[in-house]
Structure 1
Amino acid sequence: MTSLGFLYPGHSAEDDYPRIEQILASDIRLPLVHTDIGEDAHRVDALLEMGSAKRLAGGVEELRLAGAEAVVWACTSGSFVFGWEGAQEQVDNLAAVAGLPASSTSFAFARAAAEIGVRKVAVAATYPKDVAAHFVSFLASAGIEVVSLKGAGVITAAEVGTWGREEVLRLAREGDHPDAEAVLLPDTALHTAAYLRDLEEALGKPVLTANQVTVWEALRLTSRKVREPSLGTLFTQKPVVTAP
Structure 2
Amino acid sequence: MTALGFLYPGHSAEDDYPRIEQLLGSDIRVDVVHTDIGEDAHRVDALRRMGAAERLTAGVEELRLAGVESVVWACTSGSFVYGWEGAHEQVRGLARAAGMPASSTSFAFVNAVREIGARTVAVGATYPEDVAELFAGFLRAAGVEVTGVRSSGIVTAAEVGTWGEAEVLALARAADHPDAQAVLLPDTALHTAAHVPALEKELGKPVLTANQVTVWEGLRLTDRRVNAPALGSLFLREPIVQV
TM-score by length of 2: 0.97
Structure 1 equivalent of residue 209 of structure 2:
209
Q: In the TM superposition, what is the alpha-carbon distance from 1:121 to its structure 2 partner?
A: 0.5
Residues 1:116 and 2:116 are matched in the alignment: yes
Say yes or no: does 1:41 pair with 2:36: no
- Contact kept, 8 Å, 2:42 with 2:157, in 1: the verdict is yes
1:84-137 Cα shifts (integer Å, max 9, x gaps): 100000000000000010000000000000000011100000000100110011
CA contact (8 A) 1:84 1:138 kept: yes
User: Displacement, 1:65?
Assistant: 1.1
The one-letter amino acid paired with 2:201 is: E
User: Retained in 2: the 8 A contact 1:77–1:135?
Assistant: yes
2:79 is matched with which residue? Answer: 79
Unpaired segments ≥5 residues, structure 1: none
Whole-angstrom CA distance in 2 between matches of 1:205 and 1:26: 26
Distance 1:86 1:139 in 2: 14
Task: Please say if residues 123 and 146 of structure 1, whose CA atoms lie closer than 8 Å, have aligned partners that are also in contact.
Answer: yes
Native 8 Å contact 2:25 2:228 kept in 1:
no
CA distance in 2, matches of 1:238, 1:94: 31
Verify the 8 A CA contact 1:12 1:189 in the aligned structure 2.
yes
Q: Distance in 2 between matches of 1:226 and 1:26?
A: 8
Task: Kindly state the Cα deviation for residue 239 of structure 1 after the two structures are TM-superposed.
Answer: 8.0
In 1, distance between residues paired with 2:239 and 2:216? Answer: 12
SS in 1 for 2:124: strand
- The amino acid that maps onto 2:25 is A
Q: Deviations over 1:172-216 (max 9, x none)?
A: 001111111100000000000000000000001000000000000
Matches of 2:40 and 2:109, distance apart in 1: 23
* Residue 93 to residue 237, structure 1, CA distance change in 2 (3 Å): same
The equivalent residue for 1:91 is 91
The higher-RCO structure (CA 8 Å, 6+ apart) is 2
2:64 alignment partner in structure 1: 64
Deviations 1:48-86 (A, max 9, x none): 000000000000001011111000000000000000100
Q: Match for residue 26 of structure 2?
A: 26
CA RMSD, 1 decimal = 1.0
The amino acid across from 1:225 in the alignment is R
Query: How much has 1:24 moved relative to structure 2?
Result: 1.2
Distance 1:69 1:44 in 2: 31
* Number of equivalent positions: 240
For 1:191 and 1:181, how far apart are their aligned partners in 2?
A: 22
In structure 2, what is the equivalent of residue 169 of structure 1?
A: 169
> Partner letter of residue 143 of structure 2?
G
Unaligned ranges ≥5, structure 2:
none
Q: Give the residue type in structure 2 aligned to 1:27.
A: D
SS of corresponding position for 1:8? strand
Tell me how far 1:238 sits from its aligned partner: 3.1
Match of 1:143 in 2: 143
Task: Report if aligned partners of 1:116, 1:237 keep a CA contact under 8 Å in 2.
Answer: no
Structure 1 letter corresponding to 2:24? L
